[in-house]
Structure 1
């Protein structure tokens, strides 16, 4: 692991509490690739507005994160997966029927602003303030929950720059369209720095990192 997880805690008597936001299928694929017994892991959804609160309060052992973190109290390991980039739109949207789009095309529409305590430096990677060509992305709609986001997308021509794994959870009136000119988001596992991971949790992190495709 890139930031070694301590593994000196006594043997766990409960499942590994694994924090997720968005698709559970991404977490399931990481668990399967690691060869970890699914029965030993409990998926714990976290709120994008307070992504690290459950970890800091001891309600999670590990969590999925995307892109690099610079939180002083949170450690993250090596990349365990990649999540291709996509734009999320309503089924009525002009981009909805496309096989893929350019990030530059999304600038014609309003996007979503950084939610709550979500790290702005990560949001700038997920929903960049400007495209590679320098065109501003208008980040105006408040981001709260996936359900509220879907309601805005269904009622407007707004777009949400996100990842393809959301295909698993968006309602039928929402479309997930690949973005062909943004690199996939790196996915890592994170834990509270200085906290003792159980041997089982540390072994899961190590196995997930070993199983990652280069």
Structure 2
């Protein structure tokens, strides 16, 4: 039986794991040497805090005092998710000002408020309020709302990989791409595989 420090490091992701796999390959690591788990957006850091995850792939820099972050390792372009029949669905790209015409999603559970304000801004750059009203729980529930209403969800282009055809992913041209980082417990030593991945990932973007 393998000792706890010999098991594969577990990386928490939301939706698709392809961004994490891309970072692993760029850092010289084999994604097959890691395990992956899905985190719940209503309580995103629970599995990192309880030791289920060694690392998490996150966007931005949540102000969580017990969690540390790598430097930005890549950037994920912004997009809006809409139903296939939505007025914005056929466009090549949109402005966030266009998105404000439709109801968006509210912050889920204990998701960090400062990060949700980056994901779904309370106002557009022109000062128009974004109506954050729909409940955000799971990807499946979000898809159902998008497919049956005129709701919109401001999110990231990378999630195109996990969404069904009845949802369109339209790039948002006037929101900056989100920095992607690895998160890990601040006061707990990382196991060697996880620590090596963080160090090598940071080195790969510094070159």
2:187 aligned with 1:194, yes or no?
Answer: yes
Matched-pair contact (CA < 8 Å) for 1:11–1:198: no
RMSD: 1.4
CA distance in 2, matches of 1:190, 1:169: 22
Q: CA deviation at 1:16?
A: 0.8
Decide which of 23, 27, 47 is 1:54's aligned counterpart: 47
CA distance in 1, matches of 2:81, 2:203: 32
- Change in CA separation of 1:77 and 1:11 when aligned onto 2, cut-off 3 Å: same
**What aligned pairs does 1:98-117 form with structure 2 within 5 A after superposition?**
98-117=91-110
Greater than 4 Å deviation, 4+ residue runs: none
SS of the residue 1:205 aligns to:
helix
CA distance in 2, matches of 1:11, 1:150: 38
Decide which of 170, 177, 180 is 2:170's aligned counterpart: 177
- Change in CA separation of 1:11 and 1:202 when aligned onto 2, cut-off 3 Å: farther
2:70 aligned with 1:68, yes or no?
Answer: no
CA distance in 2, matches of 1:149, 1:107: 18
2:149 aligned with 1:156, yes or no?
Answer: yes
Q: CA deviation at 1:11?
A: 8.8
State the aligned residue count.
Answer: 205
TM-score (norm 2): 0.96
Unaligned 5+ residue runs, structure 2? none
SS of the residue 1:105 aligns to:
helix
In the other structure, the counterpart of 1:23 is: 16
Matched-pair contact (CA < 8 Å) for 1:61–1:197: yes
Q: CA deviation at 1:206?
A: 1.1
**What aligned pairs does 1:122-137 form with structure 2 within 5 A after superposition?**
122-137=115-130
Q: CA deviation at 1:213?
A: 7.2
Unaligned 5+ residue runs, structure 1? 1-9
Q: CA deviation at 1:172?
A: 1.1
SS of the residue 1:78 aligns to:
coil
In the other structure, the counterpart of 1:142 is: 135
CA distance in 2, matches of 1:197, 1:51: 19
